[in-house]
Structure 1
Amino acid sequence: MRAGAGREWRTPPPAASRRYAADIREAFVTGSSPSDFPAEHHERNWTGRCTLDDLNETGRRGIGLG
């Protein structure tokens, strides 16, 4: 049996994906915890944390910037 056989794969509707990407993008930019994680916001004051300039094309696309 091939991997995934017998499973129904679903992806979120495009509007939901766009909303989630916007949420993740805002969390990334501000160093905040995304809405689907506990609101701990550990990275807000981290020195040298990853920024938008550090993302490659795939990373930027993943948060709706590519």
Structure 2
Amino acid sequence: MTPSWRKPVGMLGILLLILLWCVAITSLSGVVGGWHWTAQLVFYLFTGLIWITPLKPVLRWMEVGHWR
């Protein structure tokens, strides 16, 4: 069985997604820093988990070659 090019491309895509997500969230730190600590906690918990949502189709594409 020959190695698939989709796995390295998918891994790079996932790393790029994580990098862009981190930059986007940290760029909001000036605004979020003025919030009450409980609001900050909810915001960072939510944004820390929501980036996982687009990974399922990417991982499926890496394995089988199609999105659905």
TM-score by length of 2: 0.38
Higher RCO, 1 vs 2 (CA within 8 Å, ≥6 residues apart): 2
Indicate the structure (1 or 2) with the bigger Cα radius of gyration: 2
